[in-house]
Structure 1
Amino acid sequence: MSQEIEEQIAHLTRTVDDLSDVIARQEREIARLARRVGLLLEREAEREADGAGTIPLADQRPPHW
């Protein structure tokens, strides 16, 4: 019985370590994507500011209307 418990603990420890690695990778990826979104928002704001007097693309009607 003791060996079964030790095997289960070893398995659970491995699972926790694997999940911890996954979470760490996801955290880095989310941070990277958040930075990219921030840069894209800044770029879009600058583009819209440079085109003062024009209708922003997001507000334009599609050509088929």
Structure 2
Amino acid sequence: MNTNELAWFKSSYSSNEGGACLEIATRPETVHIRDSKNHTGPTLTITPTTWTAFLRTVR
């Protein structure tokens, strides 16, 4: 899948002050993660189960 076709969004915790921000794009079978300042750079793709486990540890 071409990641340019995904609907990316930034966390509601992110500010517009240029800090370290991530964007995610969700699909039923995957969660894609990228640097919000580098749209052409690498992405990390994980399962929804892994994403949920990650969110539980950072809250």
Q: TM-score range by the shorter chain?
A: under 0.3
As a proportion of its length, which structure holds more strand? 2
Higher relative contact order (CA 8 A, sep 6+): 2
Taking structure 2 as the reference length, the TM-score comes to 0.24
